[in-house]
Amino acid sequence: MPDPFDTQRPGRLIKAPENFIGPEGVKTVFREAKEGRRDFIRNAFAAAVAAGGTAAAGGAAAQANPVPADGGDPNILNLPAHTTGLGQGVVTDGYGLPSKYEKNVQRRQSPGLTQTTQASVSFAPLQSLFGIVTPSGLHFERHHQGWWDIDPSKHRLMLNGSDERLMKKPMVFTMDELMRLPQVSRFHFIECGANSGMEWGNVAVPTCQYSHGMISCSEFTGVPLKVLLDMAGTDTKRARYVLAEGADGSSMTRTIPMELIESGEVIVAYGQNGEMLRPENGYPLRLVVPGIQGVSWVKYLRRIEVGDKPYATKDEAIHYIDLMPDGLHRQYSGIQECKSVITTPSGGQVLLDKGYYTVSGLAWSGRGKVRRVDVSADGGRNWRTATLQGPVMDKCLTRFTLPWVWDGKPALLQSRATDDTGYVQPTYRQLRAVRGTRSIYHNNAIQTWLVQESGEVKNVQLS
Contacts to another protein from residues 236-265, by CB under 8 A: 240-241, 243, 245, 249-251, 253, 257-260
**Whose Cβ is closer to another protein: residue 202's or residue 221's?**
202
**Whose Cβ is closer to another protein: residue 215's or residue 228's?**
228
Binding another protein by CB under 8 A: which of 135, 137, 206, 368? 206
Q: State the CB neighbour count (10 A cutoff) for residue 55.
A: 13
Does residue number 416 form part of the binding site for another protein (CB under 8 A)?
A: yes
How far is residue 126's CA from residue 342's CA, in Å, rounded to a whole number? 9
Per CB under 8 A, which of residues 122..161 are in contact with another protein? 125, 127-128, 144-146, 158-160
Binding another protein by CB under 8 A: which of 331, 389, 391, 403? 331
Which run of H or of E encompasses 430? helix 428-435
Peptide bond into 426 cis (omega under 30): no
**Whose Cβ is closer to another protein: residue 13's or residue 77's?**
13
Per CB under 8 A, which of residues 430..459 are in contact with another protein? 430-431, 433-438, 442, 450, 452, 454-459
**Whose Cβ is closer to another protein: residue 8's or residue 430's?**
430
Does residue number 207 form part of the binding site for another protein (CB under 8 A)?
A: yes
Q: How far is the CB of 72 from another protein (least distance, A)?
A: 19
**Whose Cβ is closer to another protein: residue 272's or residue 344's?**
344
Per CB under 8 A, which of residues 103..122 are in contact with another protein? 103-106, 108, 110-111, 115-119
Binding another protein by CB under 8 A: which of 185, 380, 392, 409? 380
Does residue number 383 form part of the binding site for another protein (CB under 8 A)?
A: yes
**Whose Cβ is closer to another protein: residue 82's or residue 103's?**
103
Binding another protein by CB under 8 A: which of 238, 278, 354, 372? 372
Q: How far is the CB of 147 from another protein (least distance, A)?
A: 11
Q: How far is the CB of 254 from another protein (least distance, A)?
A: 11
- Please provide residue 212's backbone torsions phi and psi, each rounded to the nearest 5 degrees: -135, 5
Show the site string, 307-326: x = touches another protein by CB under 8 A, - = not. x-xxxxxx--xx--xxxxxx
For residue 97, with 0-12 CB atoms within 10 Å meaning exposed, 13-18 middle and 19 or more buried, which class applies?
A: exposed
DSSP 259-282: HHHHTT--EEEEEETTEEPPGGGT
Does residue number 291 form part of the binding site for another protein (CB under 8 A)?
A: yes
Does residue number 409 form part of the binding site for another protein (CB under 8 A)?
A: no
Q: 355 and 405 in contact (C-beta within 8 Å)?
A: yes
Q: How far is the CB of 26 from another protein (least distance, A)?
A: 5
**Options 67-75, 89-97, 280-288, 370-378: segment touching another protein (CB under 8 A):** 370-378
**Whose Cβ is closer to another protein: residue 51's or residue 433's?**
433
> Which residues, other chains included, contact 414 with Cβ-Cβ below 8 Å and sequence gap of 6+?
342, 375, 376, 379, 380, 446, 447, 448, 449
Distance set, CA 3 to CA 8, 261, 382 (Å):
9, 46, 8
Angle 112-118-121 from CA coordinates, rounded to 5°:
55
Binding another protein by CB under 8 A: which of 342, 412, 413, 447? 412
Q: 174 and 302 in contact (C-beta within 8 Å)?
A: no
- Please provide residue 315's backbone torsions phi and psi, each rounded to the nearest 5 degrees: -85, 20
Does residue number 205 form part of the binding site for another protein (CB under 8 A)?
A: yes
How far is residue 288's CA from residue 299's CA, in Å, rounded to a whole number? 9
Nearest to 142 by CA among 298, 363, 356: 298
How far is residue 409's CA from residue 255's CA, in Å, rounded to a whole number? 50
> CA dihedral in degrees (277, 281, 284, 285; nearest 10)?
-100
Find the DSSP H helices in 352-413: none
Does residue number 203 form part of the binding site for another protein (CB under 8 A)?
A: yes
